[in-house]
Structure 1
């Protein structure tokens, strides 16, 4: 997979500019951002994942496996509006010590699925079946963004096989401290329609320019994200529409969650504000908190080296001290 052409195009960039012009937080990110960050670049992607598709529980999903067979099992869940390719930067480093599995959740990334998967419950039900299908045990479950919602719901409501949770920059607590772009998706039918009309190119471009202050994705990476959501923004906006009722299935149970949990967050996250991280940490009985300085919503890319170090230290035994 390789492309020499900008997968966003001028029209996608124009639509992204319109969306960002109505997003007050964009000024904050623009001031903090290093030159060129958040914009796709024509550089080698360095993708080494062994990607595969398989029909599981009636839906065709994409996932990858790799790493060290006898290492601790780390399962990474795709965020929105990305796919498991967002873990390219940390894949080889984690794989030196860990058995790795990465999953495009149904309805996200390059996995199939639509409206029927746009709830925390549906995602965690599939996650339970996926883990059983691959015969995974003692799993360290990494869930950024929408993956955090699936991970929390799975840990709370399913007979899980978790060693720990590593979650962040995502939904899980009420009241939620949202950036304006999330509030638009949750509360405004008009803006949900506008996201759909703007299309996948603008959706991905706008997200990167609002989410990154250090990292610049490759053309190949962004092309995968655009292909992931081309024609699928409608179902994704339904996920935002049902956000409050879905959060209500998780928030009341946080104090009962005894799984060791590492909460991570980008200091400059403008989608879900860092206040969420501090409050979530206080609510969880066995948690640690890692704030990534000068990082945005995609903290796992904005400081990939530190993120990988955090995960490795945690799964090597840090989780036992939580």
Structure 2
């Protein structure tokens, strides 16, 4: 069977969004249990597999500078979540356990049997739920980057102190029915640019072309609806996380990746009550968007985590 026969390529699911290239990587689309997901794959076919997930308001492209560094050692697969980037935008099913089942189906369809998982922001929401669902031992370890995971690291209430409120205010806004769509339709670029500018340590961390790319993905048909749906399903995601945790804590190695100026000051401490085998690392000179802002340090932290087998360093 040829590669094209194994991974038949449908027409671009988001035709107005350019398909960016990373040298040595190939675009794939796979049927992931009824939802077509887009993946970008490269690196060493015989190496350990590392799967990457991004968050709001981004796509697989958030990992573009980390991927080549990991590819020197590993098979690397960056996946767009449902509703993200060049993946399908289903009308429903955005709680993180449902999404995690689609991600696992995509990983299986790509022929990945065991892997390490690194995920940022909403990607980390999905990754945590996926780890809770992984009872077959396919997941070697989990790296979670600066994420307010529902029911896990997300504060119970949005702070009202202006010095902190700007980091999490959007959780409540996105939950309001219809109003965000009314205010944001046609203004997706301005909204996306605010996040990329305000939540990065350096306000010029993202080039205008990068802002345009992420904004175009959100503005494309179904993109804004899907982005909001993850937040609107957050309570369900939290409930399902805790239901799974009643059956047992995570036992796989976990790396909590914080940054010097991120949203969650200590990811490791926040995750450890649910995953005792958790180590932590802080990436300096970075805000929320750690892989974009400090790709070399991010890659180094992930490589160290994989090479030591997830054991605390």
Q: Which residue of 1 aligns with 2:261?
A: 268
Using structure 2 for the length normalisation, give the TM-score: 0.79
Q: How does 1:251-266 map to 2 (within 5 A)?
A: 251=242, 253=245, 256-266=249-259
1:176 aligns with 2:154: yes
1:166 aligns with 2:143: yes
1:212 aligns with 2:200: yes
- Write out per-residue CA displacement over residues 117-159 of structure 1, whole angstroms, 9 at most, x where no aligned residue: 3111221110121122122122101111111111111111243
What is the CA distance between 1:81 and its match in structure 2?
0.9
What is the CA distance between 1:87 and its match in structure 2?
0.9
RMSD of the alignment, in Å?
A: 2.7
- Write out per-residue CA displacement over residues 237-256 of structure 1, whole angstroms, 9 at most, x where no aligned residue: 12212212312222461861
1:223 aligns with 2:212: yes
Higher helix share goes to which structure?
1
Q: Which residue of 2 aligns with 1:297?
A: 288
Contact persistence 2:188–2:218 (CA under 8 A): yes
Q: 1:153 aligns with which of 112, 122, 129?
A: 129
Give the Cα–Cα distance (whole angstroms) in 1 for the partners of residues 90 and 171 of structure 2: 22
Structure 1: unaligned runs, 5 residues or longer: 1-44
Higher RCO, Cα 8 Å, sep 6+: 1
Contact persistence 1:66–1:101 (CA under 8 A): yes
What is the CA distance between 1:277 and its match in structure 2?
4.6
1:130 aligns with 2:121: no
State the secondary structure of the residue aligned to 1:50. strand
Contact persistence 1:47–1:85 (CA under 8 A): no
Give the Cα–Cα distance (whole angstroms) in 1 for the partners of residues 70 and 115 of structure 2: 14
Alpha-carbon distance change, 195 to 109 in structure 1, aligned in 2, over 3 angstroms: farther
Q: How does 1:63-212 map to 2 (within 5 A)?
A: 63-160=39-136, 161-172=138-149, 173-174=151-152, 176-177=154-155, 179-189=167-177, 192-193=180-181, 196-197=184-185, 199-212=187-200
Q: 1:311 aligns with which of 298, 302, 306?
A: 302
Using structure 1 for the length normalisation, give the TM-score: 0.77
| Count of aligned pairs | 277
Contact persistence 1:145–1:170 (CA under 8 A): yes
Structure 2: unaligned runs, 5 residues or longer: 1-19, 159-166
State the secondary structure of the residue aligned to 2:154. coil
